[in-house]
Chains A and B, each alone.
Chain A
Amino acid sequence: MVEINLNRRQFLKLTGATAATLAVVELGFNEKEVHASTKEFKIAKTTVTPTICCYCGVGCGILVHTNDETVVYTEGDPDNPINEGKLCSKGTTLRQLYTSEKRLTKPLYRAPGSEKWEEKSWDWMYDTIAKRVKETRDKTFVHKENGITVNKTETIASLGGAALDNEETYLLAKLMRGLGVTYIEHQARI
């Protein structure tokens, strides 16, 4: 968990921070009592975690209020110097990335010729994908070309990654090059 700038805002505690009533008062909600009590209720006893918006490249800070079960509320991070607490329409609705009924919650498999998805376990998916990668590589791997060691697999492509974390892009690039993949592309061009 992160240390949020406590000196500027007596707003959030450290690990497991609870948004206190004090914050609500400080932000001036006490002038609108009805609204304030609603706010207080919604974010009372929630854990607050700072994140960075997952949409455009501006990099606005967002605070995610969660309880044990769900994301209760999100708001602009007032400490982030880029957005100073402000958000656009997409940043504002970040919570629905968690709550949307359209979220995928299980691994799905589509067999050749089939017209439907089937639920499968993660283990089955991992094992089968690893097998497919190996079959394709073993059949098509090029070790040498015109006397030059080329160690490449030109039959597998990797697309995407502009929404991944840096650490993930690093491992992905390392794995794909390690497999000899040359068709590596992502959203930078499109």
Chain B
Amino acid sequence: MTNHWNDLQHTDVAMIIGANPAENHPISFRWLLKARERGGKIISVDPRFTRSSAQADLYSPLRSGTDIAFIGGMINYTLQNNLFHKEYVAKYTNASFIVKKSFKFDDGLFSGFDEATSSYDKTQWAFETDKDGKPLRDEKLENPRSVFQLMKKHYSRYDAETVSTVTGSPKEDFLKVCELFCSTGKAGKAGTIMYAMGTTQHTVGTQNVRSYAMLQLLLGNIGLPGGGVNALRGESNVQGSTDFALLWGDLPGYIGAPKAIPEHATLEAFLEKETPKAGYWSNKPKFVVSLLKAWYGPNATKDNEFAYQMLPKGNKNYSHISLFNAMYKGELEGTFLFGQNPVVGGPNAGKEKESLSNLKWMVAVDLWETETSSFWQKEAGSDPSTIATEVFLLPASSSFEKEGSVTNSSRWMQYRWKAIDSRGEAKADLEIIHILATKIKELYKNESTPAAQPIKALHWEYGHGDHPDIDIVCKEINGYDYKTGKQVPGFGALMDDGSTCSGNWIYSGFYPEEGNNRSKSRDSKNTDGGTNFLNWSYAWPANRRILYNRASADPSGKPWSEERAVINWDASQKKWVGNDIPDFVPTKAPTDEGGTNPFIMLGDGVAGMFVPTLNDGPFPEHYEPFESPVPNVFSSVEMNPTVKVWDGDFNKKGNYKDFPIVATTYRVSEHWQSGSMTRNQEWLSELVAHMYVEISEELAKEKGIKNKDKIVVSSARGDVTAYAMVTKRFKPYKLNGGTIHHIGMPWHFGYKGYATGDTANRLTPHIGDANTMIPEYKAFLCNVRRA
């Protein structure tokens, strides 16, 4: 989230799209209801009339997979009706930049597309620059080659009629959403967009989010209370585990992992290639070297590139679908699972289960026996005698049987204390990881093979005994002066000469001195005068609660409006003051160079309306999902042309003729993710005991299905049997004159636990977004019949 949960109460209009917080983030909804008490409005845009829709002032349906059409239409509405915040757009975004003539857009394709590689030559999308390399600008936004004018032209195609035809949203509903949400373009008004996996799990997931950001920038809604683009995180520490880089492409703190390319062959070359000349990332060498010191300790020296060569360098995409494809092909021998259950939660889950039997060994660390760790059982439909996989199932402690911190969606790092000893012989993951590391290091102790070097070089000193000293881990994450051992006050103190270490620079500052682990801060008084709770927990980075808050003030440093003030420039004190930590150099005056550039992480200092670095284009453009019931109305290009298509048996594709119904998946309040944490509990299992599929009354009538009938839903990948829930919450969509049915189902079920049922993900495809490879769970084709 750019903002935070408590901040939602300040919004004038909240648009919830691709999320259902009333059901899936229930407590967050209190703050939206508080906003409504203050006169705020709530909009829900969703394929289904959800519990959030039921609480909303305005609801519009939208066919799964058509967000860009919908938001593109809103962008068009904003521009055509002059509802945007002109000064904000001109000064704080790259709308004023002039784009080179080589950039073109024609019939669904941007310039530079190479069909052979399904990729773009992005250099064709560059900006015109002056002799110093700075982009040329027209702050009047009139130049026909300005981003603003190109954007206006691009989205002029997204008129209300076409949007309605594509999305299935009735034109009048769509226009009501436009009118209400775009009212926040006035200074003094703030609108927020709240989204979750309904937005991201598409072949155009990244561009879906981009379209939200563009709309929010046009309306001047980024950086102020009640504004922002707010991703609602679905797991207690998925924010933290992402920050700490449990993802193939990153090192902790969003430092891209080195690759097996000549430009990354040495630390010097890597830093040269990956360090931008301007913006805060120009400090990257300090963060990289401090990380290497944290990981390799005394084994990282100036003379050995701070052990940079010990880091693995990959040569391909290693994300979830690729990983299971490699496993399917027998390329993996071993897999560790820390609380993950892909046999229920993975896309095309039948194939993921099948792939597991190709492993030689699996280590599953969990509180429960899951469908994944027991994939070899008869109960799972397997023949154990034919499966040679060794499985090690280690019992893990629950969250209150150990201590440590988690980072919520607001980026607040909150501490959890240990309440009780672990159940049975269960152990904390910290201890399990620690002992495994120690044992593996021990095995390599007397070896000097290439394989032994990196693991021997890894600095692993976390105290005596089996249980590691978490305080040492915390200090290493925060960082300290390597000579004195004294903790650094924050990431500003990190150095690139090996004199400091820090395991994750964005968290540096949470533990600035002995005895002051700020994730343990529990003062919930509003000492800041706002609702930012600066003394409750610690928010990365630097305890900032509202990101980009420099943009809450006008270029001269005065808040756009008093009621939306966060920080302002105090000329007498010569610094930024307010009720949040400035997301800006605290002493940089508006008149200083770069003093009006609020987006300090970006090289140009302004936000990107036009982003020439994404794989699928500088502007979001609507394409149909991998499986779609209709041709693309906007162009002759059906699907995002830059996605990787996995085919053959690994990912069968269904067509409209055999599978004419659009389906999506979602969650319920009483269950969580793959269900192992809730289906193994009595009360929650009793509350929602069965797998079901929601279908409209119209579809039910057509198929002769009654409420509670057993039905079979099938896709090209598999089928599930479940109870029919005949509902008014889904309505048939009118698209281009035709009628398309839309259904949905929860994805929590499997055969283990108290509450059992068929796994929805046996239906979903193995296809991912062009930038993130996030699977397209949320829009696929199926058919329905009575069981």
Chain A residues close to B by CB (< 8 Å): 1-5, 8, 47, 49-62, 64, 66, 70-71, 79-84, 86-91, 93-94, 96-98, 100, 102-115, 117, 122, 125-134, 136-141, 143, 145-190
Contacts and interface: CB of A to CB of B under 8 A. Distances in A.
B246 A186 contact: yes
A185 B320 contact: yes
B251 A177 contact: yes
B312 A182 contact: yes
Contact of A90 (B429, B440, B684, B773): B684
Contact of A107 (B264, B392, B503): B392
B488 interface: no
Given A52-B408, A132-B361, A187-B235, A170 B367 contact: no
A170 B345 CA distance: 24
Interface stretch (B143-151, B217-225, B395-403, B591-599): B395-403
A157 B536 contact: no
Given A5-B522, A90-B678, A157 B323 contact: yes
A173 B252 contact: yes
A157 B450 CA distance: 20
B251 to A, nearest CB: 7
Given A167-B474, A179-B454, 15 more contacts: A47-B419, A80-B536, A98-B401, A103-B426, A112-B388, A122-B427, A129-B439, A156-B336, A162-B237, A165-B416, A167-B404, A172-B433, A178-B457, A187-B235, A190-B345
B451 A141 contact: yes
Contacts of A172: 246, 338, 429, 433
Interface in B647-681: 669-670, 672-673, 677-678, 680-681
Nearest to A111: B390
A12 to B, nearest CB: 11
Nearest to B434: A171
B477 interface: yes
Interface centre among A57, A154, A157, A159 (most CB of B within 10 A): A57
B643 interface: no
Interface stretch (B68-76, B174-182, B324-332, B546-554): B324-332
B474 to A, nearest CB: 6
B333 A188 contact: no
Interface stretch (B22-30, B42-50, B102-110): B22-30
A186 B340 contact: yes
A151 B453 contact: yes
A183 to B, nearest CB: 5
Given A2-B417, A103-B368, A190-B345, A87 B27 contact: yes
A162 to B, nearest CB: 4
Contact of A81 (B310, B428, B533): B533
A31 B782 CA distance: 56
B17 to A, nearest CB: 17
Contacts of B30: 83-84, 86
Contacts of A175: 433, 436-437, 458
Contact of A189 (B26, B319, B453): B319
Nearest to B24: A56
Contact of B409 (A57, A166, A174): A57
B755 to A, nearest CB: 11
A137 B453 CA distance: 12
A172 to B, nearest CB: 5
A57 B507 CA distance: 18
Closest 10 A-B residue pairs measured CB to CB?
Answer: A105-B424, A165-B404, A57-B233, A59-B408, A160-B340, A143-B450, A49-B419, A160-B338, A57-B409, A104-B395
Given A172-B433, A185-B323, A81 B524 contact: yes
A114 B332 contact: no
Contact of B327 (A87, A113, A157, A189): A157
A130 B439 contact: yes
B247 A110 contact: no
A56 B235 contact: yes
B54 to A, nearest CB: 16
Interface string B668-711: 01101100011011111001000000000000000000000000
B406 interface: yes
Nearest to A144: B450
B116 interface: no
Contact of B400 (A64, A106, A132): A64
Given A57-B233, A175-B433, A166 B406 contact: yes
B378 interface: yes
B236 A56 contact: yes
Contacts of B419: 47, 49, 51, 64, 66, 71
Contact of B455 (A62, A122, A179): A179
A156 B423 contact: no
A49 B415 CA distance: 11
A14 B248 CA distance: 43
A103 to B, nearest CB: 5
A153 B443 contact: no
Contacts of A61: 414
23 contacts: A2-B415, A2-B522, A57-B232, A82-B27, A97-B677, A102-B680, A106-B425, A108-B391, A126-B435, A130-B439, A133-B334, A148-B313, A150-B260, A151-B311, A157-B335, A159-B323, A165-B403, A166-B237, A166-B507, A170-B503, A177-B295, A182-B248, A189-B774
A132 B246 contact: no
A13 to B, nearest CB: 14
A65 B238 CA distance: 27
B312 A177 contact: yes
Interface in B361-396: 361, 363, 365-369, 376-378, 384-396
A36 to B, nearest CB: 23
B340 to A, nearest CB: 3
Contact of B473 (A71, A103, A167): A167
A106 B437 CA distance: 21
Contacts of B723: none
A156 B235 contact: no
B523 interface: yes
Contacts of B503: 170, 174
A183 B248 contact: yes
B669 A107 contact: no
Nearest to A66: B420
B605 interface: no
A182 B246 CA distance: 10
B449 A164 contact: no
A167 B470 contact: yes
Contacts of B365: 160
A134 B158 CA distance: 57
A153 to B, nearest CB: 7
B315 A156 contact: no
B185 interface: no
A58 B678 contact: no
Interface centre among B365, B419, B424, B433 (most CB of A within 10 A): B419
A160 B26 contact: no
Interface centre among B241, B326, B424, B474 (most CB of A within 10 A): B241
B229 to A, nearest CB: 15
Contacts of A2: 415, 417, 520, 522
B367 A103 contact: yes
Contacts of B673: 187
B119 interface: no
Nearest to B363: A129
A154 B317 CA distance: 12
Contacts of A103: 367-368, 395, 423-424, 426, 680
B168 interface: no
B402 to A, nearest CB: 7
